[in-house]
C-alpha cells in the first residue's frame, strides 16, 4: 500500500513542508511506499514580505513570484487546483477542477484571507500593501502624495506579520525625509489595544521610535467605519481621524473549508500547539497562518512548523511514533527606516528583546529576502 500524503497550499508552509517530505521520505517515495502531492490553486509561489517594499518603489509585485514547479522537489506531484471541501471521515478532498482526491495523511497550509469588506468603507477609502493589487495601487498613491495626513490603521488582529505596520510607518517617515517632504506629511499610526503593539517589548521600542520621529500614535483605536467621501476614519471608541491617505491593514479571516469540515468554528483551525495535529480529526495537520496557535502569523512560524510536521508525518509513514514538536519559535526582522533594521526572536511564553537597529541587520533582511527562495526549496 502506498501512503498518500497530501499537502494543500503552495505558500511558505506548504512548499517547505512538501520539500522536507521529499527529502525525508526519499527512499520510501522511490520504492513506491509513499507518495506526496502538493495541491495549490496558484501555479506561482508568492513571497508576501516583498509587498512591504512595493509602495516605496524598491521592489515590484513580479519580484514576489516564482513558479511552484521551480521550487518544489521533482519527487512531489504538483496539482494546480482549488480544494472546495474536506471530508475527514472519508479522508477525501473535493477539488474544483478535478473531482476528488483521497489521502492517508493531510496537511493544510491555506494561509489567511484578506476581508476588507468587513469594515464599511474600507475597500473604497483605504489602501494596503498586503496583496499584489493593493501594493501596486498604494505605490501609485505614495508617489503622488506630497503633503497631507497619512494614517496607518491596524484594523484587527490577528493579521499577518505583526511587525509590518510598524515597519511601514518607520519606512514612510524615512522615505518622505529623504525626498524633503516630511515637514508637509503628518503620519499617524493606530492600534486596537492600549499600547502600540501586542508584544510589550516591541510596543515599548516602537513607541520610543515613533516619538523620536514625530509619528503620532492612537491606541485603543478599533476602526469601525471609513467615510471615503469626507476622508474620515471612525473608531468604536468614538475617536475620529481625518486622513488624506489611509493605509488600513485589512481584517483577516481563516477559511470556510475549516469551518465546514468541523476543524474550527471560526475559520481558524484548532490544533495542538506543539504537534500541530487537528483537535477534531485524525491524520490532519495544520500549519502556517491557518493554524490557531498563540504566536504571530509569520513566514518564519510556517517554516519552523513545517519542519516539525514533516518529521511527524515521516515517522507515521514509517510506522514509528512521532516525537518532533514545534516550540513556538518565531523570528521577525523589523525594518526601522530605509537603511536600518532590527529583529526579534521568541518562543511560546517568552518575551523577545528588541536590539538596537543597525545597517547590517537591514542588509541581513534584504539578504534573507533573496535567499528565501533557497529556504522554500528546502535548502536552507
Partner 1 sequence: MSETELDPDVTIDSRGATCPGPLMDLIGKVKEADPGTVIELQTSDSGSKGDVPEWLDEAGHDLLETVEHDDYWSMYVEIN
Ligand X SMILES: Cc1cc2nc3c(=O)[nH]c(=O)nc-3n(C[C@H](O)[C@H](O)[C@H](O)COP(=O)(O)OP(=O)(O)OC[C@H]3O[C@@H](n4cnc5c(N)ncnc54)[C@H](O)[C@@H]3O)c2cc1C
Instruction: Report, in Å, the least distance between residue 335 CB and ligand X.
Output: 8
Show the cell assigned to 94.
473535493
For partner 1, give the closer residue by CB, 115 or 137.
Answer: 115
194 binds, among partner 1, ligand X, none (CB under 5 to 8 A by kind): partner 1
CA 356 to chain centre: 25
| Residue 369 contacts partner 1 per CB under 8 A | no
224 binds, among ligand X, partner 1, none (CB under 5 to 8 A by kind): partner 1
Residue carrying the nine cell digits 488582529:
157
Instruction: Report, in Å, the least distance between residue 235 CB and partner 1.
Output: 9
Going by C-alpha positions, the residue among 234, 158, 169, 253 that lies closest to residue 198 is 158
Query: Can you tell me which of 61, 193, 253, 331 binds partner 1, judged by CB under 8 A?
Result: 193
Stretch that binds ligand X, among 56-64, 198-206, 282-290, 351-359 (CB under 6 A): 282-290
| Residue 238 contacts partner 1 per CB under 8 A | yes
Query: Can you tell me which of 13, 192, 254, 288 binds partner 1, judged by CB under 8 A?
Result: 192
- Three-state SS for 255? coil
| Residue 357 contacts ligand X per CB under 6 A | no
Q: How far apart are CA 256 and CA 18, in angstroms?
A: 23
Stretch that binds ligand X, among 18-26, 298-306, 315-323, 356-364 (CB under 6 A): 298-306
Instruction: Report, in Å, the least distance between residue 192 CB and partner 1.
Output: 6
Query: Can you tell me which of 88, 300, 317, 342 binds ligand X, judged by CB under 6 A?
Result: 300
Say if CB 66 and CB 53 are below 8 A apart.
no
CA distance between the termini of the chain:
32
User: How would you classify the pairing of strands 232-235 and 240-242?
Assistant: antiparallel
Which conformational region is residue 222 in: left (phi greater than 0), alpha (psi within -120 to 50 degrees), or beta?
beta
Strand partners, 5: 36, 105
Amino acid at each position: 500500500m502506498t501512503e498518500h500524503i497530501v499537502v494543500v497550499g503552495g505558500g511558505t508552509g506548504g512548499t517547505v513542508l512538501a520539500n522536507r517530505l521529499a527529502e525525508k521520505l526519499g527512499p520510501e517515495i522511490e520504492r513506491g511506499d509513499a507518495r506526496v502531492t502538493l495541491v495549490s490553486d496558484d501555479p506561482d509561489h508568492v513571497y508576501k514580505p516583498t509587498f512591504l517594499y512595493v509602495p516605496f518603489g524598491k521592489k515590484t509585485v513580479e519580484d514576489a513570484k516564482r513558479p511552484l514547479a521551480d521550487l518544489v522537489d521533482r519527487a512531489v506531484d504538483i496539482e494546480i487546483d482549488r480544494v472546495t471541501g474536506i471530508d475527514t471521515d472519508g479522508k477525501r478532498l473535493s477539488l474544483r477542477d478535478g473531482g476528488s482526491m483521497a489521502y492517508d495523511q493531510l496537511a493544510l497550509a491555506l494561509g489567511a484571507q484578506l476581508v476588507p469588506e468587513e469594515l464599511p468603507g474600507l475597500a473604497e477609502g483605504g489602501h494596503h500593501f498586503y496583496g499584489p493589487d493593493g501594493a501596486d495601487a498604494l505605490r501609485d498613491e505614495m508617489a503622488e502624495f506630497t503633503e497631507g495626513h497619512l494614517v496607518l490603521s491596524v484594523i484587527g488582529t490577528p493579521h499577518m506579520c505583526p511587525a509590518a505596520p510598524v515597519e511601514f510607518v518607520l519606512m514612510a517617515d524615512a522615505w518622505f525625509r529623504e525626498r524633503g517632504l516630511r515637514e508637509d506629511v503628518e503620519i499617524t499610526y493606530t492600534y486596537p489595544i492600549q499600547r502600540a503593539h501586542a508584544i510589550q517589548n516591541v510596543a515599548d521600542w516602537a513607541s520610543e521610535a515613533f516619538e523620536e520621529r514625530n509619528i503620532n500614535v492612537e491606541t485603543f483605536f478599533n476602526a469601525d467605519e471609513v467615510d471615503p467621501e469626507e476622508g474620515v476614519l471612525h473608531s468604536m471608541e468614538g475617536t475620529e481621524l481625518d486622513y488624506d491617505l489611509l493605509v488600513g491593514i485589512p481584517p483577516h479571516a481563516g477559511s470556510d473549508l475549516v469551518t465546514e469540515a468541523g476543524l474550527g468554528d471560526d475559520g481558524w483551525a484548532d490544533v495542538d500547539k506543539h504537534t500541530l495535529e487537528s483537535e477534531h480529526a485524525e491524520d490532519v495537520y495544520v500549519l502556517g497562518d491557518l493554524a490557531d496557535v498563540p504566536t504571530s502569523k509569520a513566514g518564519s512560524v510556517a517554516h519552523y512548523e513545517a519542519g516539525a510536521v514533516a518529521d511527524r508525518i515521516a515517522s507515521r509513514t514509517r510506522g514509528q511514533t512521532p516525537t518532533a514538536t514545534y516550540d513556538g519559535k518565531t523570528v521577525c526582522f523589523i525594518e526601522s527606516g530605509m537603511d536600518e533594521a532590527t529583529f526579534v526572536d521568541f518562543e511560546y511564553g517568552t518575551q523577545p528583546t528588541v536590539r538596537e537597529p543597525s545597517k547590517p541587520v537591514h542588509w541581513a533582511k534584504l539578504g534573507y529576502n533573496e535567499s528565501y527562495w533557497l529556504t522554500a526549496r528546502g535548502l536552507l
